[in-house]
Amino acid sequence: MLRRSLLAAAAVALAMAPAAFAQGDAPIPVGAIEILSGPNAAYGTAIRAGLELALEEVNAQGVGGRKIALTVEDSAGNKDQAINAARKLIGRDKVVAVIGPTLSNEMFAVGPVVNERKIPIIGTSTTAVGITEIGPYVFRTSLPESDVIPVTLARAKARSVKTIALMYANDDAFSKSGFDTMKAAAEKAGLNILAIESFGSKDTDFSAQLTKIRALKPDAVGISALVEPVSGVLLQARQLGFGKDTLFVGGNGSNSPKLGEIAGSAADGLIVGSPWFVGKDDPANQAFVAKFRAKYGRDPDQFAAQAYDCMHILADAIGRAGTPEPAKIRDALLATKHGGVMGPFTFTPGRDPASTEGVVVLAMQGGKFGIASE
Mean pLDDT of 242-270: 94
Q: What is the pLDDT of residues 275-304, one digit of tens each?
A: 898 988 889 999 999 999 999 999 999 999
Quick one: pLDDT at residue 3? Answer: 42
Quick one: pLDDT at residue 21? Answer: 53
Whether CATH 3.40.50.2300 fits 146-274+360-371: yes
Class of domain 10-143+281-341: alpha beta
Quick one: pLDDT at residue 280? Answer: 85
Q: Judge whether residue 47 has pLDDT over 70.
A: yes
Q: What is the pLDDT of residues 175-192, one digit of tens each?
A: 999 999 999 999 999 999
Mean pLDDT of 68-97: 97
Asked whether the domain spanning 146-274+360-371 has the same topology as the one spanning 10-143+281-341, the reply is yes
Quick one: pLDDT at residue 355? Answer: 67
Q: Please state at what angle helix 207-216 crosses helix 227-239, rounded to 10 degrees.
A: 60
Judged by average pLDDT, the poorest of 64-68, 101-105, 298-302, 352-356 is 352-356
Domain ranges of the chain: 10-143+281-341, 146-274+360-371
Q: Judge whether residue 18 has pLDDT over 50.
A: no
Mean pLDDT of 40-48: 96
* Cα 129 to Cα 140: distance, rounded to the nearest angstrom: 12
pTM listed for this prediction: 0.87
Mean pLDDT of 118-133: 96
Nearest to 280 by CA among 354, 343, 216: 343
Quick one: pLDDT at residue 290? Answer: 97
Q: Which three-class secondary structure state does DSSP give residue 122?
A: strand
* Burial classification of residue 348, based on how many CB atoms lie within 10 Å of its CB (0-12 exposed, 13-18 middle, 19 or more buried): exposed
